A and B are shown apart, each in its own frame.
Chain A
């Protein structure tokens, strides 16, 4: 019973390509997030959606475009991949309550060559 699942687990691609990462949660949460963990293990939020609406959009290149077809899914599409995009990308979800803990997926390790 995976609560937050994201695919693929590993993604290796060349510069300039376009790729997508999918995320689904079966917890009935209202809010979903994308976080990026860089090579120094520092976690930073990229986007947050609540009931399919964007509520947080950090300073992220517009090559990154999240899409939420319904509140259980939040996909991340990346255009024109660059070497610096290599990182681990985590999807997470929570209730729309500031005191609700986040539940994370297992991450997608993206390597751009």
Chain B
């Protein structure tokens, strides 16, 4: 059974800092890994999807890496801004499209 863990559970940084969020999964036979952002009272927004054959994906100030063999992914946020404050979740799908989510990292960027 796939288990997804995210560390840290919460992170508070000053504006402008670069930061890394971590995600680990127990079953390395994954199709892809997805990173989402959840704002309070809102649904999840898909940020990046890394396919199993890829090692990283970039979108603006976000860079996600994937190391299947070690069961790890990182989300790097460059030059953080207060608007980046949100909960970040990673998820991996099973063969039946069922996503297993981590519990998320609550990020606070202080101005």
Chain B contact residues, majority secondary structure: strand
Let me know if B97 and A55 touch, CB within 8 A.
yes
Interchain CA distance A70-B42 in the complex, whole Å: 25
A40-B103, A90-B43, A107-B42 in contact; A102/B98 too (CB < 8 A)? no
Does A90 lie within 8 Å of B97, measured CB to CB?
no
Proximity bits, B64-90, A CB within 8 Å = 1, else 0: 000000000000000000000001010
Q: Besides the contacts A98-B93, A103-B46, A104-B45, what 6 more A-B pairs have beta carbons closer than 8 Å?
A: A31-B97, A41-B104, A42-B101, A56-B96, A56-B98, A104-B44
Which chain A residues have a beta carbon within 8 Å of chain B's beta carbons?
4, 31, 40-45, 48, 55-56, 58, 90, 92, 94, 96, 98-99, 101-107
| Chain B residues with a Cβ under 8 A of chain A | 31-32, 34, 36, 41-46, 49, 51, 87, 89, 91, 93, 95-99, 101, 103-104
